[in-house]
Amino acid sequence: MSTINFATREINFKIVYYGPGLSGKTTNLKYVYERIPEDRKGEMVSLSTEDERTLFFDFLPVDLGEVKGFKTRFHLYTVPGQVFYNASRKLILRGVDGLVFVADSAPNRLRANAESMRNLRENLAEYGLSLEDVPMVLQVNKRDLSDALPVEMIRAVIDPKQRYPVFESVATRGVGVFEPLREVSRLVLARLATPSEG
């Protein structure tokens, strides 16, 4: 959950990119990082495993302004996609404020998308959270594949109740990369502005 740094007058938010292995999570983060001005971003840290990397960096968005006199700083993380790194995935989800679920459009990855969504639910449950507790958007990546599955088919598997905003993307070309990030950031800030019931 968001943390407030009174010394720097910043509110820190954690956005996690989740999804199956090789769906484009790392590509997204690299593209975003390359386009943020140097003076508004921290260093990108890469934790490499044998098959995948976990990336994270933080930045001050220019266009989101201030919240109650505090600047907003977003910390973006990717989780390793491979199932055997589940302990890492779970750890990265701790304190999450928003999620971008990156789905793969390839026909042979439909099951991997479903398994990754199920795994996300299970890992959130470990922290006493459900998908309803965390703002999330769906990014259906690799739309440039000649045999890309229809978005409706992918959504029927990972979001059958159509609860989440959906964005189509080709992350390798930067198409549809910033839109899901902007939307999840907006949802996270909107949640902060809404007093919680209880």
d(CA 171, CA 37): 19
Q: Above 70 in pLDDT, residue 63?
A: no
Task: Take residue 158 and report the two structure tokens written for it.
Answer: 């990972």
Q: Which domains does the chain have, with CATH numbers?
A: 3-193 (3.40.50.300)
Mean pLDDT, residues 45-72 taken together = 77
Mean pLDDT value across residues 171-180: 98
Distances (CA, A) of 49 to 25, 144, 159, 165: 15, 28, 30, 31
Torsion of CA 128, 132, 136, 139, to 10 degrees: 110
Higher-pLDDT residue of 162 and 195 is 162
Residue 16 above 90 pLDDT?
Answer: yes
In this prediction, residues 55-67 reach a mean pLDDT of 78
d(CA 102, CA 25): 6
The pLDDT confidence band at residue 98, using thresholds 50, 70 and 90, is very high
User: In the structure encoding, which two tokens stand for residue 14, read together?
Assistant: 């954690």
Length of the chain: 198
Tell me the CA distances in angstroms from 190 to 61, 143, 152, 196, one per residue in order: 16, 29, 27, 11
pTM exceeds cut of 0.85: yes
| Mean local confidence (pLDDT), 178-193 | 93
Using the structure block, give the residue that is written with the tokens 């409706």: 152
Residue 64 pLDDT exceeds 90 = no
